[in-house]
Structure formats: structure tokens, C-alpha cells
Amino acid sequence: MWEQLINDVDQHFEQLVETRRYLHQHPELSFKEYDTANYIASFYDQLDIPYQTNVGGNGVIARIKGHKPGKTIAFRADFDALPIHDQKTVDYRSQTEGVMHACGHDGHTSILLTFAKLLKSIEHELAGEIVLVHQHAEELPPGGAKSIIDSGALEDVDYVFGTHLWSGTPLGVVETAPEEFMAGADKFHVTIQGKGGHGAMPHETKDAVIIGAQLVDQLQQIVSRRLNPLDTAVVTIGKFQAGDTFNIIADQAQLSGTVRTFDPSVQDKIIDEMNAIISGVCTGYDVSFHLDYEKGYPPVVNHRAEAARALEAAEHIQEVKKAQWVKPSMTAEDFSYYLLEKPGAFFFTGAQIEDQFYPHHHPKFDFDERAMLIAVKTFLQITKSYQSK
């Protein structure tokens, strides 16, 4: 039965693509995914699969209960988009100006819906219960995962799994890590209040641009000079805004950036060092400042047994050339919240388009849609592996 079901996945490729491309054309931003949630609910209506809407916000959770006793396994897909203008020249390009599925969440949703349709066809033979978690707002902290968990909707779940279509990994490669897999991600914003003036009389000013430049330089030295070289961390300044014109010295500068860590003690060390550096530089220049530091998603830390189960499941799929352990990534994901509550694993499904690579969150981002077949088959193999337990 299971072998036939997995072989049948290929027959659903056209629907996988159609669903994904429809969602790609109709993206919605985090916390505003109302039409997408309705689309998902309508799909389950057609399959006669019971579901809940408005879980933790815009989340949708469906359940397929087998006719035999067994474990309760959750599979998650996110469905929000990003505030990015789609620059691809394809017929399924986003139809919403300035909003785009630039991270593969349209594919994730299509994968989970097709997975559900296939499982529904063997419901009478299924042991246990499959929980299909369609999560809103992965892209924007505080995210949707934590609110879904706080709703209590997953209290009865035994294990949780998820995948991310990964445009930087070749098609046919499945990757994960036994423990730490993706970093925790924080963001910060610094406002420097100096004293502006005429560009010809700098001695009468407190130049916010100069001060901001000092901070950019010194904050980068936290990782290179203030942390143990064996600790993993990133401090990135992604935004520097100051001034209005070429001959006026700016009175204010604003810096924004991100901090990525795996260890809470390293995270705390970086926060302490940032406060010390910013305070020291601004005191030296006799200006005021404000630091707004927001702790974001915790690190994605897999459970070793479940991560190994995911790789073993992928190894049984004909299209998978390699299923492998990899080093952790400094990217982030709010799937981390599920793994803090339940045993499970998150893994990458390689989706790189041959001879083309645009990273996630790029305006020309796309993925090889054949990767969706591999992801569905991996979910089925994971489910199968629990059937005899």
C-alpha cells in the first residue's frame, strides 16, 4: 500500500504546480494572509477533512485520524509572503504589487495539501493521526508558530516535522543536522542624536554620520575580537540612514541590524558588548542614543532520533541522490518553537534550479518545482516509518 501511494505522488505533480503557482500569484504578507487561509480551508472542504481556522491568528490545522491506533504526527507548512517586488519574467509572477513569495512558502503549502490528499485516500488503513499545520506569519516576529503552540492545538502531538525547499541545495539532496540546525535571530535598531550644522563648519556640530560609522566598525569587532573564536555568532548592520543633502552635517543617524547565535550565553554576551560599545562611543562624542534590541526566534535544534528518521526516510526515495548531515546554517526559522515543545526535526529539501541561483528573499527567487515531489514523498516515508511502532 505505502509503496503504491508513494509511487502515486508523481501523478499529482500537475496539481502541485498548479496550487503552488496560484499561491505565488496571490501572495499575502505576514498576519494578513486571510485569502490564503480561506484557500487552504476550501481545499480541506473538498476533501472532507476536518479542520480549524484562526488558530493562533490566521493558522489552519487539519486532522486525518486513522482507523487504527498509533502516534499523532504533525507536519507543518508556512504560507506568508514577503514585502518584495517580484522581478521574475514568468507567467505565474506575483499579481500583488510589492508582495512576493520569495522564500518557498507557496511550495510548502502545496506540498502539505497534496500530502493530505494522499493520506485521505488511505485513511481506513492509517494508524494514528496526522496533524496538518498550516502556519501564518513565519517571516515576521513574533511569528505564527508560538501563537499556534500557545493556543493548545498541538498538545496531543507526539512528534513534529517540517521541511524547507532550499534554493541553494541541488535538486535530489536532502539535508539536516542532528541537533543545532538553524540559528536564533534577533534584530536591533540604534538611533544616534547628535547636532547638525553647515557642512563648512564641522567644528560646530556633533556629526551623527561619523559616530554611526564608528559604531559600524566597532560592532563588527564583537565577533572578531570579543567572543571566543569557538563560539558561533554573526552581527550584521543591514541599514544605515543619515542626512538629507550633501552640504549639511546630519544631526541624527539610524542603524539597524541582526544578531545570529546558537547559545543563549553568547547572545547575552553580544547584547552586553553592544551596550558597552554604543554607550562608550556616544559618551565620547557627547551625544545621546537609544538602543532597541528585540530577541527573535530561538535556534532550530533538532532531536537526533527524529532527524535521523527524516534522513532515513529520504534515502528510500528514488529521486534522492543524497541524504546527508550538514553544518548548521545562520538563517532562522520559527519552527524552533515546535521543537522546544515536541520531539521532531526540520530539514532542507534541495530545490536549486540548475545553472540558476537566486537566494531566498531575492526578487528573482524561484525553485525547481520537482522538489515538491521529493518533499511529499519524504513526508509519506516518515509517516510510514511510524505505522509499525
Question: pTM higher than 0.85, yes or no?
Answer: yes
Q: How far apart are the first and last CA of the chain?
A: 17
Give the tens place of pLDDT for each residue, 62-107.
999 999 999 999 999 999 999 999 999 999 999 999 999 999 999 9
pLDDT at 389: 55
For 2-182+299-385, CATH number out of 3.20.20.70, 3.90.550.10, 3.40.630.10, 3.40.50.970 equals: 3.40.630.10
CA distance 199 to 249: 5
For residue 1, the model assigns a pLDDT of 87
Q: Is the pLDDT confidence value at 12 over 80?
A: yes
Q: Would you state the pLDDT for residue 319? A: 97
Q: Annotated binding site for Mn(2+): which residue ranges?
A: 103, 105, 139, 164, 361
Query: Active site residue: 28, 33, 78, 80, which one?
Result: 80
At 141 the pLDDT is 94
Give residue-wise pLDDT tens across range 240-258. Answer: 999 999 999 999 999 999 9
pLDDT over 70, % of the chain:
100
Angle, helix 105-120 to helix 371-385, in steps of 10 degrees? 50
Which band of pLDDT confidence, cut at 50, 70 and 90, is reported for residue 320? very high
- pLDDT per residue over 106-164, tens digit each? 999 999 999 999 999 999 999 999 999 999 999 999 999 999 999 999 999 999 999 99
Q: Judge whether 376 and 111 are in contact, CB under 8 Å.
A: yes
What integer pLDDT is reported at residue 355 of this predicted model?
87
Residue 388 confidence class, pLDDT cut points 50, 70, 90: confident
Whole-angstrom Cα distance, residue 373 to residue 221? 44
Residue 36, φ and ψ in degrees, nearest 5: -65, -45
**CATH classification for the domain delimited by 184-297, as one of 3.30.420.40, 3.40.190.10, 3.30.70.360, 2.60.40.3080:** 3.30.70.360
Q: What's the pLDDT at 86?
A: 98
For 154-200, write each residue's pLDDT tens digit: 999 999 999 999 999 999 999 999 999 999 999 999 999 999 999 99
**Each residue of 327-347: pLDDT tens digit?**
999 999 999 999 999 999 999
Beta bridge partners of 162: 76, 346
Predicted pLDDT at 100: 98
Cis amide linkage into residue 142, ω under 30° from 0: yes
Annotated binding site: 103, 105, 139, 164, 361
Rounded Cα–Cα distance for residues 90 and 387 (Å): 41
> What is the per-residue pLDDT for 359?
96
Catalytic one of 33, 106, 138, 369: 138
| Known catalytic membership, residue 207 | no
CA 346 to chain centre: 11
Mean pLDDT of the chain: 97
Q: Please classify residue 1 by burial: count the beta carbons closer than 10 Å to its beta carbon, then call 0-12 exposed, 13-18 middle and 19+ buried.
A: exposed
C-alpha to C-alpha distance for 115 and 133, rounded to whole angstroms: 12
User: How are strands ordered across the β-sheet holding 59-65?
Assistant: 51-55, 59-65, 127-135, 68-78, 159-170, 344-352, 173-176, 322-325
Domain boundaries, the chain: 2-182+299-385, 184-297
Q: Is 123 a catalytic residue?
A: no
Residue located via cell numbers 476533501: 47
